Amino acid sequence: MSAKFDHIEVHVADIGKYCEFLVSVFEGGTFKVISESGTSMFTSPEGINIEVKHKQAEEAPIMSGFCNPCLRRLGAQQFIRSLSFAITKERKTAEGMVYFFQDHEGVTWHIKDRN
């Protein structure tokens, strides 16, 4: 039997606000509270599951492990700005531009602009 992907886990200060952010950044999806502690499960329109839990430590997120979510979409730069986030870095690649930004929890994301 092979391993099967189930979900990604994220630890944040404000679970509800982060779930609303995920709905915005994925342009849809749903979330529901799944435990008494407030842990919620977000499911994107593509079926990606993200379990949103309350973080235990107050340190800012760092770029290591799986802490750098990546999306690909047309008009990435304009989309990031429409969410009221500043682009912190840009990178030109053979496939097009990549734009980096930090969400309200300090997590770094990047969106690759599809040509």
pLDDT at residue number 2: 73
pLDDT at residue number 65: 43
DSSP structural state of residue 16: H
Q: Are 18 and 10 in contact (CB under 8 A)?
A: yes
pLDDT averages per 10-residue partition of the chain, 115 residues: 77 92 96 94 94 80 57 91 95 88 88 82
Q: What is the pLDDT of residues 71-90, one digit of tens each?
A: 889 999 999 999 999 999 99
Cα–Cα distance measured from residue 42 to residue 44, given in angstroms and rounded to the nearest whole number = 7
Q: Which amino acid is at 106?
A: G
pLDDT at residue number 32: 97
Share of the chain above pLDDT 90, in %: 51
pLDDT at residue number 34: 94
pLDDT at residue number 64: 44
